[in-house]
């Protein structure tokens, strides 16, 4: 971890080094680097804040940002070579020249460089917010179920699912950070829930969440499960590819599909796996919604999210699991594990205590 000489302190960084053609390779695609240092007492702030990185969120979308052909979406910009990976995390304020933040405050940063001592400019502080932490929940949950993944699940469900009691929903990757909240929202609303995962441990977690039909897609045929347990009114997709095709084939008339991720294609050369059955959306008059957790959705559902999700996480009504890694040097392996689905629960890197 960090060391110091004189007034300079090592500022460990998780750097993006080369564009991967398949899965990102730890130590090659991204590298933990200790060559940089920082003077914590005297580095100029110029109206900004100096922070200590506490917790990082390791999410599937980070692989998409390693694609140089991603384009110029205002919400997602490809990573720059030889610069730190950037993602969601929590920092602690060490020094501040911003009246809104003081030393010791914990702050959310939706775009944070993977380095041990991030320095936010005066302009960048506009993107920071104080963590309103409930004492029953650890800090790490505020990069998971109580923050961005939870927001995504809740806002997407409220905005696009149009769920009615008694309907049937299929959630792929239901044991993940977003999916596990979606299945609980659906059960709470009285739907029949079908959900898939990639290991028996994850299937058991789905059962613990109350999922009606939980199955391992590696050992069970998704089409056969949906044919037997469907038809499906709502499909929440994290996978794309053939799983999306299987859902399309088994949708009810006027069904709704929420496209929240397509990890099947993230580590392919093209970054995509074509869907073969999209014509079904025409004949069955389906609605397809692409989901990004954008400021407008956050603002619309923030207060109800606190009441309907965070409060239930705090009192134990809603459950969550975390896969914690310790030290920024573990971020590269954590990113690979998330792409391969070998993590169990929300993957976080705890950089400095908790």
Encode pLDDT of 77-134 as tens digits: 788 999 999 999 999 999 999 999 999 999 999 889 999 999 999 999 999 999 999 9
Q: If you count them, how many residues does the chain have? A: 354
Cα separations in angstroms, 352 against 55, 56, 73, 271, 338: 7, 10, 32, 34, 21
Instruction: Please report the pLDDT score of residue 267 as a whole number.
Output: 63
Task: Locate 167 and state its tokens.
Answer: 């309907």
Instruction: Please report the pLDDT score of residue 269 as a whole number.
Output: 62
Give residue 343's pLDDT band: very low, low, confident or very high (50, 70, 90): confident
Instruction: Please give the mean pLDDT across all residues of the chain.
Output: 91
pLDDT digits (tens, 9 = 90+) for 168-209: 999 999 999 899 999 999 999 999 999 999 999 999 999 999
Q: Which helix (H) or strand (E) holds 214?
A: strand 213-216
Sign, CA dihedral 30-35-36-40, equals positive
Instruction: Please report the pLDDT score of residue 68 as a whole number.
Output: 79
* Spatial CB neighbours of 254, under 8 Å, sequence gap ≥ 6: 284, 285, 286, 287
Higher pLDDT, 274 or 83: 83
Tracing tokens 């380095």 back to the chain, one arrives at: 115
Instruction: Please report the pLDDT score of residue 223 as a whole number.
Output: 97
- Residue 213 gets the label, from left (phi > 0), alpha (psi -120 to 50) or beta, of beta
Contact assessment for residue 89 and residue 55, using Cβ atoms and an 8 Å cutoff: yes
Rounded to whole angstroms, the Cα distance separating 44 from 33 reads 23
Rounded to whole angstroms, the Cα distance separating 148 from 194 reads 24
Rounded to whole angstroms, the Cα distance separating 75 from 294 reads 8
Rounded to whole angstroms, the Cα distance separating 223 from 218 reads 12
Does residue 73 have a pLDDT over 60? no
- Looking at 3-12, 95-104, 126-135, 227-236, which range is the least confident one? 3-12
Instruction: Please report the pLDDT score of residue 166 as a whole number.
Output: 97
Rounded to whole angstroms, the Cα distance separating 39 from 33 reads 17
For 327-352, what is the mean pLDDT?
Answer: 90
Q: What domains does the chain contain, in order, with CATH numbers?
A: 4-143+323-350 (3.90.180.10), 157-290 (3.40.50.720)
Kindly report the pTM of this predicted structure.
Answer: 0.88
Higher pLDDT, 36 or 6: 36
Does residue 233 have a pLDDT over 70? yes
Rounded to whole angstroms, the Cα distance separating 197 from 184 reads 15
């Amino acid at each position: 971890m960090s060391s110091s000489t004189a007034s300079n302190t090592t500022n460990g960084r998780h750097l993006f080094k080369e564009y991967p053609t398949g899965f990102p390779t730890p130590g090659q695609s991204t590298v933990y680097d200790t060559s940089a240092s920082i003077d914590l007492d005297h580095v100029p702030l110029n109206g900004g804040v100096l922070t200590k990185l506490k917790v990082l969120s390791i999410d599937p979308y980070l692989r998409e940002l390693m694609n140089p052909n991603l384009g110029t979406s205002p919400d997602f910009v490809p990573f720059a070579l030889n610069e730190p990976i950037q993602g969601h995390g929590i920092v602690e304020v060490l020094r501040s020249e911003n009246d809104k933040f003081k030393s010791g405050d914990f702050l959310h940063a939706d775009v944070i460089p993977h380095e041990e001592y991030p320095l936010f400019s005066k302009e960048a502080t506009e993107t920071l917010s104080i963590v309103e932490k409930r004492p029953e929940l650890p800090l790490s949950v505020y990069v998971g179920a109580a923050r961005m993944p939870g927001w995504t699940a809740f806002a997407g469900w409220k905005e696009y699912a149009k769920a009615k009691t008694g309907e049937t929903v299929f959630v792929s990757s239901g044991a993940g950070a977003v999916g596990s909240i979606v299945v609980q929202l659906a059960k709470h609303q009285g739907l029949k829930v079908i959900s898939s995962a990639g290991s028996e441990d994850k299937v058991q977690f789905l059962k613990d969440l109350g999922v009606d039909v939980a199955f391992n897609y590696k050992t069970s045929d998704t089409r056969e499960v949906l044919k037997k347990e469907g038809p499906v009114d709502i499909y929440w997709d994290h996978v794309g590819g053939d799983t999306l095709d299987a859902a399309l084939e088994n949708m009810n008339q006027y069904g709704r599909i929420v496209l929240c991720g397509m990890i099947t294609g993230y580590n392919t050369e093209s970054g995509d796996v074509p869907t073969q059955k999209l014509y079904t959306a025409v004949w069955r008059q389906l609605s397809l919604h692409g989901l990004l957790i954008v400021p407008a959705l956050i603002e619309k559902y923030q207060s109800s999210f606190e009441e309907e999700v965070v409060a239930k996480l705090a009192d134990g009504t809603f459950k969550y699991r975390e896969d914690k890694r310790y030290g920024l040097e573990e971020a590269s392996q954590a990113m690979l594990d998330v792409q391969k689905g070998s993590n169990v629960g929300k993957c976080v890197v705890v950089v400095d205590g908790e």
